[in-house]
């Protein structure tokens, strides 16, 4: 390698910073969607690189389903305090209380789908014209085709047939009033890239990413953390397991994997050897082969 060829992590980082600065330069009211997961934590680190010593030109926005892992919320609050940046929280419970969203019933009830309602409401209320998210193209095949600047109509809908050509490093963020753009700065990163970057940058993560002992139940062949939101009944047998989580979503739809990965090096080894993709641990993608495509068309990230 020539000394002036960028190492892949440097190249991915530089691309993501460029995209974040384009958002700052092109939009009036952008926001960074923060889920508490490793991908959005990575985005926060990239935003520090892009804008420090200045303030972020956008607030962080968290769509709180009320079914989060407590560890995620604790992490979020500590991080925001350290950064000194603004946090806006959209509560799914508010959407339910206002009658805009209806709580699912039954054993597999999840608030995952309701998030979209709260997200769209929060976007409308604050008139955000761009929302930065941590989705990656390697996660799923609908995402593999989505642009870095993904234009959504006022209903948040993604129309794969209306995607704008995206050439070189030129991003067209021009929109009509009411539309907004979802921006994905780490589109070209893989799961392993994110972990290698977190290790290189020494970024702290919520503790549930690392192996720990926890009460679990088995649902649809997958291990779930025992929690009051899971509508558990006598069929659900609680066992104590050594687990960790590969993604951080709701407790109702994020499956655990049995693991002894206590350190980030262990996790990187585990993922390198793993034969199950990350979204394979998300029950929400299992519904149909086009689950993600359909949800994106409905306004989901």
Partner 1 sequence: MEILKFITAGSVDDGKSTLIGRLLYDTDAILADQLEALHRSNRKNDDGSIDLAILTDGLKAEREQGITIDVAYKYFQTEKRKFIIADAPGHIQYTRNMVTGASNANLAIILIDARKGVVEQTNRHSFLVSLLALPQVVVCINKMDMVDYDEATFNQIVDQYKVLAAKLNLQNVTYIPVSALKGDNIVNQSANMTWYDGKNLLEHLETAEIPVDDSAAHARFPVQWVVRPQTEELHDYRGYAGRISSGAFKVNDQVTVLPSGFSSTITKIELLDKEFNEAFAGQSVTIHLQDEIDISRGDVLVNSLAKPEVSQLIEADLCWMDTRVLDTSLTYLIQHNSKVTRCRIQEVLYKFNINTLDKVYEEEFKLNDIGRIIIKTADPLAFDVYQNNKANGGAIIIDSRTNVTVGALMLRAAVE
- The C-alpha atoms of residue 171 and residue 140 are separated, in whole angstroms, by 22
Nearer Cβ to partner 1, position 69 or 189?
Answer: 189
Contacting range for partner 1; rule: CB under 8 A; set: 52-60, 204-212, 234-242, 253-261 = 52-60
Tokens in use for 73?
């919320």
> Cβ(115)–Cβ(65) under 8 Å?
yes
Tokens in use for 147?
């642009």
178 binding partner 1? (CB under 8 A): no
- The C-alpha atoms of residue 97 and residue 114 are separated, in whole angstroms, by 12
81 binding partner 1? (CB under 8 A): no
> Which one of residues 28, 176, 221, 228 is an interface residue with partner 1 (CB under 8 A)?
176
78 binding partner 1? (CB under 8 A): no
Please list the residues that pair with 87 across neighbouring strands: 60
269 binding partner 1? (CB under 8 A): no
> Cβ(247)–Cβ(279) under 8 Å?
yes
Tokens in use for 13?
């980082």
Nearer Cβ to partner 1, position 38 or 62?
Answer: 38
Tokens in use for 195?
């972990």
Contacting range for partner 1; rule: CB under 8 A; set: 65-73, 126-134, 173-181, 225-233 = 173-181
265 binding partner 1? (CB under 8 A): no
Of residues 185-224, those binding partner 1 (CB under 8 A): 187-188, 190
Please list the residues that pair with 150 across neighbouring strands: 182
4 binding partner 1? (CB under 8 A): yes
273 binding partner 1? (CB under 8 A): no
Torsion of CA 251, 46, 29, 118, to 10 degrees: 0
CB of 273 to partner 1, least distance (A): 11
SS3 letters across 117-160: HHHHHHHHHHCCCEEECCCCCCCCCCHHHCCCEEEECCCCCCCH
The number of residues in the chain equals: 301
Centre a 10 Å sphere on the Cβ of residue 36 and count the other Cβ atoms it contains. Answer: 22
Binding mask of the shown chain, residues 93 to 132, with x at each position contacting partner 1 by CB under 8 A: ----------------------------------------
- The C-alpha atoms of residue 120 and residue 216 are separated, in whole angstroms, by 33
Nearest C-alpha neighbor of 299 from the set 178, 161, 153, 187? 153
> Which one of residues 14, 81, 237, 238 is an interface residue with partner 1 (CB under 8 A)?
14
CB of 37 to partner 1, least distance (A): 19
CB of 17 to partner 1, least distance (A): 4
Binding mask of the shown chain, residues 134 to 153, with x at each position contacting partner 1 by CB under 8 A: ---xx--xx-xx--------
- Footprint of partner 1 (CB under 8 A): 1-2, 4-8, 10-15, 17-18, 21-22, 24-25, 48-55, 57, 137-138, 141-142, 144-145, 160-161, 163-170, 172, 174-176, 187-188, 190, 274-277, 280, 289-290, 293-294
């Amino acid at each position: 390698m020539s000394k002036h060829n960028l190492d892949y992590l440097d190249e991915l980082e530089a691309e993501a910073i460029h995209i974040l600065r384009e958002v700052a330069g092109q939009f009036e009211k952008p926001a960074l969607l923060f889920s508490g997961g490793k991908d959005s934590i990575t985005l926060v680190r990239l935003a520090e690189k892009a804008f420090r010593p200045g303030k972020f030109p956008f607030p962080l926005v968290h769509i709180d389903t009320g079914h989060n892992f407590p560890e995620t919320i604790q992490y979020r609050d500590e991080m925001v305090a350290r950064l000194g940046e603004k946090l806006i929280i959209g509560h799914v419970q508010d959407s339910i209380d206002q009658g805009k969203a209806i709580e699912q019933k039954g054993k597999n009830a999840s608030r995952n789908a309701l998030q979209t309602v709260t997200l769209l409401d929060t976007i409308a209320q604050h008139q955000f014209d761009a929302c930065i998210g941590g989705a990656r193209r390697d996660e799923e095949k609908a995402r593999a085709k989505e642009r870095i600047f993904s234009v959504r109509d006022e209903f948040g809908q993604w129309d794969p047939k209306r995607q704008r050509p995206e050439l070189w490093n030129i991003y067209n963020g021009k929109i009509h009033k009411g539309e907004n753009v979802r921006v994905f700065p780490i589109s070209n990163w893989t799961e392993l890239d994110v972990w290698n970057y977190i290790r290189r940058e020494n970024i702290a993560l919520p503790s549930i990413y690392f192996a720990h002992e926890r009460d679990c139940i088995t649902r649809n062949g997958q291990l779930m953390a025992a929690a009051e939101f899971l509508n558990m009944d006598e069929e659900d047998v609680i066992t104590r397991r050594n687990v960790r989580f590969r993604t951080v979503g709701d407790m109702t739809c994020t499956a655990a994997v049995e693991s002894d990965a206590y350190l980030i090096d262990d996790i990187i080894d585990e993922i390198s050897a793993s034969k199950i993709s990350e979204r394979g641990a998300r029950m929400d993608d299992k519904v149909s082969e086009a689950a993600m495509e359909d949800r994106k068309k409905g306004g989901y990230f």
